[in-house]
Structure 1
């Protein structure tokens, strides 16, 4: 399904062969425009069936407007931090944020999307928990912009603000390999999610770069929640004794913390017996014992930038395809050389 793109002020300006400011003068009667140019603008408006975006006007006036933030759940501190970034950007321009948390309401995303459409929000920032997008959410793009954050969805040509997950995963895996680890296991995220795919691809690139067959490293799937990390670690430990890894690469911090709890319950020490790394660098990760090596994503900045992209779209700037932000490996105490190398 492809939503028909709403004509923008830029489209009107291009068709009428005038500047965007001239179009604004005509629409708002806010500046002098020669009669011939005014007629060209009015003709372009009629031909393109352009209607002024009221939410863009409210942003220009810095008066209240409304956007929606759809986030899987707020028990994941990373999601909460992204949401705080959105709120920070919205507060600066007096925009109200309607928070939609499908897991908290136990209502499917499709139902939530229909509710948003009935409320006529000006735009949506969407953080997927499934790797897909309900048709009703995408349909909102017919009346207002939708911006993805921390995710890209195949087949949906929508602006996205994401981090370089692939590079971050490659670099943290390289750090583990540099310590001498060769018996590894991955606890990955949901396979349908772009972030999980990118992180797994980054790990595999590091394995290949170190001369290790990527297919020889087992991958256990989690769902980015703490419990799934513990369950995956238990499944790994229950495997053959001669196949036990010396390091676990976890696709987010919550699963890494769950894995560490499982290892502790089994009488294993981190990192002396098994090294563990995570991804996201939640604030709590630096407070663990041992402190968790992780990949920092600027969560607040992602949310803030996603809101700024949305506001740009509401103001008629449809050239913004989103942003790719950098990640940084935070080396702490949860990785050391394997026992045989010490």
Structure 2
């Protein structure tokens, strides 16, 4: 219906919504501000009326009237790994339609920094925290944080802490990428595993070993080197793996993440070791650089953006901002076969 004076649709107010829904203005306000003292049936009814009327609340104005903006914390190891960047972008997209401010904390996978941020965020006026651990250590401050704030983990499970998690099938992905190497005829295989204590490291290592067993290979007869998920640790591991006689070199190096695989490829380039003709290399995560490498890296893709968005929706649901939980909190992984794997030459 058009306004007779302006010829435009009149601006709807919260009073119009209340009158149409046959509820009080206070009830509509409670629905808009995601308060928990409104019955679900009433909330659904008011939201349906707002949608039918085309009522669009001015979120920023509401936030100013409340004198605060809801806020969450996001703890990630770093942003050099583009998987973490994808998760952060997904979180931001997941909160974009709400009055939410995100505080980003970089732990650099250091236990002291994780402890510090858990303690700091516990003292702040936050509604919840999304947490990506780089250490796998359940610090005392983190335990206390989970008692006072809603916490959601992404791609990690910490022992002794009962919090919802958004995960991908790391084990299956590792199993499938190892099978890809085995199907190429490789038997002299080295594995660069991730840091101890991390759930992702354990899951990926288990997947590698399962594929080896099913391929009639004894994992205990292969070289396993521990890395820390950094490019530097991959480079250092390659230095050790290719230090002896050429006959003792692996024909394939399976890495627990892409950054370590990039370190291996960089070492091989400097040492004039051809990838994939002399040695095949695989990674895990499918970060942006994986497909830009020369050769492009065969790896396992996990949907970082979707996982981050799901974590945001899960957190918003737990703090009462969203009325429904996300459709998925467990995501599939898939192998991206590129140019870094070739048939074994020996």
TM-score (norm 2): 0.78
Which of 89, 104, 119 is the matching residue for 1:99? 104
1:269 paired with 2:274, answer yes
Gaps of 5+ in 2: 1-30, 43-62
Distance in 1 between residues matched to 2:181 and 2:191, nearest whole Å: 12
1:309 paired with 2:319, answer no
Distance in 2 between residues matched to 1:162 and 1:25, nearest whole Å: 29
Taking the TM superposition and a 5 Å limit, the aligned residue runs for 1:31-70 are 64-70=69-75
Residue in 2 aligned with 1:175?
Answer: 180
Residue in 2 aligned with 1:326?
Answer: 332
1:234 paired with 2:234, answer no
Distance in 2 between residues matched to 1:234 and 1:131, nearest whole Å: 27
**Higher radius of gyration, 1 or 2:** 2
1:85 CA drift (Å) = 0.8
Residue in 2 aligned with 1:4?
Answer: none
Q: Determine if contact 2:283/2:299 at 8 Å carries over to the other structure.
A: yes
Distance in 2 between residues matched to 1:105 and 1:203, nearest whole Å: 27
Residue in 2 aligned with 1:27?
Answer: 37
Q: Determine if contact 2:284/2:300 at 8 Å carries over to the other structure.
A: yes
Distance in 2 between residues matched to 1:26 and 1:126, nearest whole Å: 25
* Cα-Cα RMSD: 2.9
**CA 1:103–1:88 in 2, change beyond 3 Å: closer, same or farther?**
same
Which of 231, 251, 265 is the matching residue for 1:260? 265
Distance in 2 between residues matched to 1:197 and 1:93, nearest whole Å: 36
Which of 113, 122, 138 is the matching residue for 1:133? 138
Q: 1:2-25 deviations in whole A, cap 9, x for unaligned?
A: xxxxxxxxxxxxxxxxxxx9xx99
1:288 CA drift (Å) = 1.1
Q: Determine if contact 1:270/1:276 at 8 Å carries over to the other structure.
A: yes
Q: Determine if contact 1:158/1:321 at 8 Å carries over to the other structure.
A: no
Distance in 2 between residues matched to 1:103 and 1:338, nearest whole Å: 37
Residue in 2 aligned with 1:280?
Answer: 285
Q: Determine if contact 1:187/1:232 at 8 Å carries over to the other structure.
A: yes
Residue in 2 aligned with 1:158?
Answer: 163
Residue in 2 aligned with 1:142?
Answer: 147
Q: 1:23-43 deviations in whole A, cap 9, x for unaligned?
A: x999359999xxxxxxxxxxx
Distance in 1 between residues matched to 2:345 and 2:77, nearest whole Å: 40
1:243 CA drift (Å) = 2.6
SS at 2:72 equivalent: strand
1:64 CA drift (Å) = 3.5
Moved more, 99-108 or 208-217: 99-108
**CA 1:172–1:80 in 2, change beyond 3 Å: closer, same or farther?**
same
Q: Determine if contact 1:160/1:322 at 8 Å carries over to the other structure.
A: no
Distance in 2 between residues matched to 1:93 and 1:77, nearest whole Å: 25
Q: Determine if contact 2:173/2:334 at 8 Å carries over to the other structure.
A: yes
Gaps of 5+ in 1: 1-20, 33-57
